[in-house]
């Protein structure tokens, strides 16, 4: 996961304008936004982490760190202002400390245990500045100096403030204030000659001198190509040069390929996205188990290569690591030799016990296609150990002899102890996990291990402290210091010296005492806080002179007003809210006084939601039996034919959609409608109290009647002179033959439909019922198993004519044939034959 840290110059010189009409700070902000848009096109940018630092002191200078979101980053970027000094050295140290804050906790650096290229956190620092003089409170500096003191624990273990996976790139803005006719330099963007350029080159980066907007876009495209997962290594030649080739002449003196400071690419695993490796690069010292401290290491390891041709060694089942080198004069020279079958061994000085150069831990080799140069990292002193492991596999068949064990033990004495862990893993991969004893030490003393654990705890505390301070954004209370100008004036130079002398001798009255300026040496004048909203009703000095009369009338209106306002606000301020803060409802609630407790705590609380304060909690409402409320998860991830999505079938949860068919309601059987009575209602008998005789609520009856009969009621056909009055109880038969009562809402009763209309309604109802039955039967057919009782239960409830039922049953047989339900097909065919036999014996059908 790459870390992209932007260091923006916010000194006062960034306010200078270019010929484009924008300031340098505006160009810097636009460059960051453009870079993020271009980077967002790459799918690998999903794991990027963005940070933002300016030239202010810590923690104010850290605008976006480890915990800030992308929205916070963009907000802080737009709010940057150019006011201050060019303290780029202190800001760079802050950037490196922020990146190194969590390395001791995660164990990436692995101090004293070798350098693992696959343990990395690639970071790119992009500094955007104007390249002017470096200014600070101590004066103007010609060179860039980073502070040596830092609050980061464990910083003494590395000589430099940066690490080998952190690179610095600088965009130095040189856009002129007036448009020039001079052509832009050809051949790419040149490096700048400012003080930050040497720092960029030391970390493995570079600087760009930007003279136009087009060059700035070109630099951003180049920076996108620099976002690579890798570490920087110093390669240096040792020994004589290789013999020249046929067409090559030997050049005297040092060459550019003799010493290179370049990157090796550490490719992540395509499956896991994390780099995987086996062997470390050795340390520059021999580990001593009795040493109480660790010597500091350099940020970039110094790897020496010998130009003597050697034979590459690779053995099956013995793992090795392969890293591609960044293009450099060294890679160009190796590729020009066209020797893909030979290699150059690499060493780290002082890594062995009795050798200054050390033993080889790998080699440089050109690829077979001669398109790149790779660094192969092998076990330490691989020319000795690889033949031993080859004999173990091929000759001894993983059954070592005494002589082989003696040779292997002699090798272990020349190997640094921190290779034990890597060698044990390699032997486990080979199939010989018991060659190394489990109690072998790793080369660190007890004091060093305790010190590293202590540093890890201190770093974690410092990490949490810095994260908390960045989140709080405590603004330092700065002010204007009052300087004492009269402290150096002698008493003899005062105009009233004669009177002062007379008052001391007692000849005249004593002069009044003057204030001692030394007592107020630390006195400061508070600056104007622009972010503080003026409060004219509290502080008279916040009222402009031209608004005094308006403020008086406003204060008079507030005094005589009886409106209950918030504490600390007047009427105008109560309704004068910026648009960006109008939706900040939570802060408004926090400013309200604490409400009193409820008089009845047992009463369910009202669900108070912003935007709709009258929205009630549905869990506490009474619900009609047909619309059963569903609580809990609805199993949205299951397929539509699952058992859990069926209401009343399969034992699953209830269904949210209302079932409109009366025959599918549990506990209620469907019966055909009965002919309506001659009278739409009957008068109540003497002493009889009309009540509801049906368990269906009145509202349900009304909705059901309206759904069945539609708009058959016509007020124009009502008979006049009827004795039915509004509010009387209406009693009449329903379609299922039961009596029910209802309140008459009209002045004339509704008439019953004619037989043709009733037949039309019933046909449409039968079609809806059959459609739902077919859906339920299809779901049962798709289920595994041979439980077909529910299918025949649904088939007995099919409505319609004889032909309709036969067509329905034939379609069900076709559906069963689709899923190859042979047993079900046989039962359905028997069921169909039974229907034909009954049809021949009966003249009419009243059900299955």
Q: The tokens of 436 are what?
A: 């190394």
How do residues 335-385 score in pLDDT, each as one tens digit?
988 888 899 999 999 888 888 888 999 999 999 998 999 999 999 999 999
What would the mean pLDDT of 581-599 be, rounded to a whole number?
A: 72
Give residue 517's pLDDT. Answer: 52
**Which residue intervals of 172-318 are DSSP H helices?**
197-203, 213-226
pLDDT at 396 over 60: yes
Q: Is the pLDDT of residue 235 over 90?
A: yes
If phi > 0 it is left, if psi is from -120 to 50 it is alpha, else beta; for residue 709 that is: alpha
What band does 694 get if pLDDT is binned at 50, 70 and 90?
very low
420-429, 434-443, 698-707: range with lowest mean pLDDT: 698-707
CA dist 753 and 765 (Å) reads 15
The residue among 501 and 531 whose pLDDT is bigger is: 501
pLDDT for the residue 763: 75
Instruction: Tell me the pLDDT band of 479, cut-offs 50, 70 and 90.
Output: low
For the CA atoms of 742, 743, 746, 751, the dihedral, rounded to the nearest 10 degrees, stands at 20
Q: Assess whether pLDDT exceeds 60 at residue 552.
A: yes
Average pLDDT along the chain: 76
> Under 8 Å CB-to-CB from 534, ≥6 apart: which residues?
542, 543
Pairwise CA distance, residues 833 & 483, whole Å:
114
Residues 279-290, mean pLDDT to the nearest whole number = 88
Query: Comparing 595 with 306, which gets the higher pLDDT?
Result: 306
Pairing of strands 62-64, 134-136: unpaired
**What tokens were used for 473?**
């954004």
50-54, 639-643, 695-699: which range is least confident on average? 695-699
**pLDDT of res. 200:** 92
3-state secondary structure of 236: strand
Separation between Cα atoms, residue 15 and residue 23, nearest integer Å: 5
Cβ–Cβ under 8 Å, residues 329 and 482: no
Poorest-confidence range of 25-34, 60-69, 662-671, 778-787? 662-671
Task: Report phi then psi at 305, rounded to 5.
Answer: -125, 140
Q: Has residue 581 got a pLDDT over 80?
A: no
Note the pLDDT of residue 379. Answer: 92
* Distance from C-alpha of 546 to C-alpha of 14, rounded to nearest angstrom: 36
Residue 51 has pLDDT above 90, yes or no: yes
Distance CA 429, CA 317 (A): 7
Say which residue, 419 or 271, is predicted with more confidence: 419
Q: pLDDT by residue (tens digit) across 751-763?
A: 556 666 766 767 7
Residue 691 has a pLDDT of: 40
Taking the C-alpha atoms of residue 463 and residue 446, their distance in angstroms, rounded to an integer, is 26
The 10s digit of each residue's pLDDT in 24-49 is 999 999 999 999 999 988 888 888 89
pLDDT over 90 (residue 302):
yes
The pTM for the full model equals 0.59
d(CA 753, CA 205): 90
pLDDT confidence bin for 717, thresholds 50/70/90: very low
Total length of the chain? 848
pLDDT band for position 690 (50/70/90)?
very low
* Alpha helices for 648-740 (secondary structure H): 698-709
What is the structure's pLDDT at 380? Answer: 92
3-state secondary structure of 631: coil
pLDDT in tens, 181-225: 777 767 788 888 888 999 999 999 999 999 889 999 999 999 999
Residues 633-641: contacts with CB under 8 Å, at least 24 apart: 641/779, 641/782, 641/783
pLDDT of residue 322: 92
User: Of 611 and 221, which is predicted with more confidence?
Assistant: 221
If pLDDT is split at 50, 70 and 90, which confidence band does 127 have?
Answer: very high
pLDDT grade, residue 722 (50/70/90)?
very low
Residue 313 burial (CB count, 10 A)? 16
8 A C-beta contact, residue 360 and residue 312? no
Q: How confident is the model at residue 742 (pLDDT cuts 50, 70, 90)?
A: very low
* Residue 572 pLDDT: 58
For the cut 70, the answer to whether the pLDDT of residue 538 exceeds it is yes
CA 798/CA 846 separation, integer angstroms = 11
| Alpha-carbon gap, residue 732 to 712, rounded angstroms | 17
Angle at 692 between CA 691 and CA 695, to 5 degrees: 155
Q: Give the pairing type, strands 166-173 and 123-129.
A: parallel
Rounded to an integer, what is the distance from CA 117 to the centroid of its chain? Answer: 26
Q: d(Cα 82, Cα 10) in Å, to the nearest integer? A: 4
Residue 506: pLDDT band with limits 50, 70, 90: low
Provide mean pLDDT across the span 142-146. Answer: 79
Burial of 236 (0-12, 13-18, 19+ CB in 10 A): middle
The model's confidence at residue 605, banded by pLDDT at 50, 70 and 90, is low
3-state secondary structure 103-118: HHHHCCCCCCCCECCC
The angle at the Cα of 692, spanning 690 to 695, to the nearest 5 degrees, equals: 165
Residues in contact with 830: Cβ distance below 8 Å, sequence separation at least 6, in sequence order: none
Instruction: For residues 64 and 162, give the distance between their C-alpha atoms in angstroms, rounded to a whole number.
Output: 20
Per-residue DSSP letter, 580? G
pLDDT band at residue 512 under the 50/70/90 scheme: low
Amino acid 518: pLDDT: 55
Q: List the single range of 54-58, 147-151, 646-650 with lowest mean pLDDT.
A: 646-650
The two counts, helices (H) then strands (E), for the chain are 20, 19
Weakest-pLDDT range from 79-88, 378-387, 430-439, 702-711? 702-711
SS (H, E, C) 330-351: HHHHHHHHCCCCCEEEEECCCC
pLDDT: is 665 or 443 the higher one?
A: 443
Q: How far apart are CA 313 and CA 343, in angstroms?
A: 10
């Amino acid at each position: 996961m790459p870390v992209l840290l932007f260091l923006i110059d916010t000194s006062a010189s960034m306010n200078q304008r270019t010929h484009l009409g924008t300031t340098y700070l505006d160009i810097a902000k636009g460059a960051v936004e453009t870079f993020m848009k271009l980077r967002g096109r790459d799918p690998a940018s999903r794991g990027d982490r963005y940070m933002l630092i300016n030239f202010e002191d810590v923690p104010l200078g850290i605008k976006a760190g480890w915990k800030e979101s992308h929205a916070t980053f963009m907000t802080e970027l737009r709010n940057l202002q150019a006011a201050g000094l060019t303290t780029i050295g202190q800001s760079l140290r802050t950037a490196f400390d922020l990146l190194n804050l969590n390395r001791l906790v995660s164990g990436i650096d692995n101090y004293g245990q070798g350098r693992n290229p696959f343990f990395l956190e690639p970071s790119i620092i992009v500094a955007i500045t104007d390249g002017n003089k470096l200014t600070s409170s101590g004066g103007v500096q010609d060179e860039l100096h980073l502070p040596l003191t830092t609050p980061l624990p464990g910083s003494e273990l590395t000589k430099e403030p940066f690490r080998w996976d952190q690179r610095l790139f600088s965009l130095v803005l040189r856009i002129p204030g007036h448009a020039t006719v001079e052509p832009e330099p050809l051949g790419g963007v040149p490096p700048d000659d400012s003080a930050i350029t040497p720092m960029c080159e030391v970390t493995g980066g570079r600087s760009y001198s930007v003279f136009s907007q087009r060059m700035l876009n070109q630099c951003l495209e180049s920076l996108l190509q620099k976002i690579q997962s890798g570490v920087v290594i110093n390669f240096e030649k040792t020994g004589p040069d290789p013999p020249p080739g046929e067409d090559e002449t030997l050049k005297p003196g040092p060459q550019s390929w003799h010493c290179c400071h370049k990157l090796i690419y550490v490719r992540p695993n395509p499956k896991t996205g994390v780099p995987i490796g086996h062997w470390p690069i050795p340390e520059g010292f021999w580990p001593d188990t009795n040493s109480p401290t660790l010597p500091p290491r350099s940020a970039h390891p110094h790897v020496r290569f010998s130009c003597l041709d050697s034979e590459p060694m690779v053995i099956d089942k013995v793992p090795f690591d392969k890293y591609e080198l960044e293009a450099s004069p060294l890679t160009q020279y190796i590729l020009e030799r066209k020797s893909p079958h030979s290699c150059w061994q690499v060493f780290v000085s002082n890594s062995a016990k009795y050798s200054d150069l050390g033993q080889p831990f790998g080699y440089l080799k050109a690829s077979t296609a001669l398109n790149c140069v790779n660094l192969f990292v092998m076990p330490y002193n691989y020319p000795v150990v690889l033949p031993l492991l080859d004999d173990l596999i091929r000759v001894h068949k993983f059954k070592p002899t005494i002589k082989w064990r003696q040779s292997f033990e002699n090798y272990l004495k020349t190997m640094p102890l921190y290779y034990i862990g890597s060698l044990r893993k390699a032997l486990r991969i080979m199939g010989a996990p018991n060659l190394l004893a489990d109690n072998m030490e790793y080369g660190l003393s007890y004091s060093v291990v305790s010190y590293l654990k202590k540093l890890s705890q201190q770093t974690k505390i410092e990490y949490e402290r810095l994260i908390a301070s960045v989140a709080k954004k405590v603004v330092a209370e700065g002010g204007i210091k009052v300087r004492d100008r009269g402290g150096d004036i002698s008493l003899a130079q005062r105009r009233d010296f004669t009177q002062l002398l007379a008052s001391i001798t007692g000849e005249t009255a004593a002069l009044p005492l003057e204030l001692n300026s030394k007592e107020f040496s630390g006195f400061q004048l508070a600056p104007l806080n622009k972010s503080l909203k003026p409060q004219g009703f509290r502080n008279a000095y916040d009222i402009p002179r031209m608004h005094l009369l308006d403020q008086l009338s406003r204060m008079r209106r507030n005094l005589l007003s009886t409106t209950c306002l918030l504490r600390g606000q007047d009427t105008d301020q109560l309704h004068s809210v910026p648009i960006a803060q109008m939706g900040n409802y939570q802060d408004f609630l926090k400013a309200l006084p604490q409400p009193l407790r409820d008089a009845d705590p047992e009463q369910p609380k009202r669900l108070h939601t912003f935007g709709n304060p009258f929205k009630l909690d549905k869990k506490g409402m009474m619900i009609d039996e047909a619309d059963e409320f569903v609580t809990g998860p609805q199993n949205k991830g299951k397929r539509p034919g699952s058992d859990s999505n069926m209401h009343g079938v399969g034992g699953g949860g209830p269904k949210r959609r209302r079932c409109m068919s009366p025959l599918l309601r549990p506990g209620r059987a469907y019966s055909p409608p009965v002919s309506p009575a001659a009278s739409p209602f009957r008068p109540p008998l003497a002493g009889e109290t009309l009540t509801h005789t049906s368990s269906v609520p009145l509202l349900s009856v009304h909705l059901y009647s309206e759904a069945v009969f539609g708009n058959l009621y016509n007020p124009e056909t009502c008979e006049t002179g009827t004795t039915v009055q509004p509010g009387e109880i209406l009693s009449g038969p329903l379609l299922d033959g039961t009596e029910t009562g209802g309140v008459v809402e009209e002045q004339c009763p509704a008439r019953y439909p004619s037989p043709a209309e009733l037949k039309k309604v019933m046909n449409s109802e039968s079609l809806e019922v059959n459609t739902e039955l077919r859906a339920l039967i299809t779901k049962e057919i798709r289920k595994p198993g041979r439980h077909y009782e529910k299918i025949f239960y649904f088939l007995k409830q099919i409505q319609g004519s004889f032909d309709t039922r036969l067509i329905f049953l034939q379609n069900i047989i076709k559906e069963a044939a689709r899923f190859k339900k042979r047993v079900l097909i046989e039962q359905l065919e028997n069921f169909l034959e039974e229907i034909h036999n009954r049809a021949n014996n009966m003249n009419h059908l009243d059900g299955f």
